[in-house]
Structure 1
Amino acid sequence: MAKPVYAQLGEVPVRCLICGGDTFWEREVKLNSTGMEFFNLAWANESATGLLCWSCGYVHLFVNNSLRLYRTRDGQS
Structure 2
Amino acid sequence: MAKYVRAAIGETWVLCLICRNATFRKREVKLNSTGMELFDLAWANESATGLICLACGHVHLFAGRAIRLFRERG
TM-score (norm 1): 0.90
Alpha-carbon distance, 1:3 to partner: 1.7
After TM superposition, the runs of 4+ consecutive aligned structure 1 residues lying more than 2 A away are: none
Report what 2:69 is aligned to.
69
| Structure 2 residue 56 is the aligned partner of structure 1 residue 56 | yes
- Larger relative strand fraction: 2
Q: Which runs of 5+ in 2 are unaligned?
A: none
Identity of aligned residues (%): 64
Alpha-carbon distance, 1:4 to partner: 1.1
Alpha-carbon distance, 1:44 to partner: 0.5
Partner deviation per Cα, 1:29-48 (whole Å, 9 max, x = no partner): 00000010011110010000
Residues in 2 aligned to 1:35 and 1:58: alpha-carbon distance in whole angstroms: 28
Alpha-carbon distance, 1:13 to partner: 0.2
Number of positions where the alignment pairs a residue of Structure 1 with one of Structure 2: 74
Residues in 2 aligned to 1:22 and 1:51: alpha-carbon distance in whole angstroms: 10
Partner deviation per Cα, 1:11-59 (whole Å, 9 max, x = no partner): 1000000111000010100000001001111001000000000111100
For the residue of structure 1 that corresponds to 2:19, the secondary structure is coil
Q: Which amino acid aligns with 2:45?
A: N
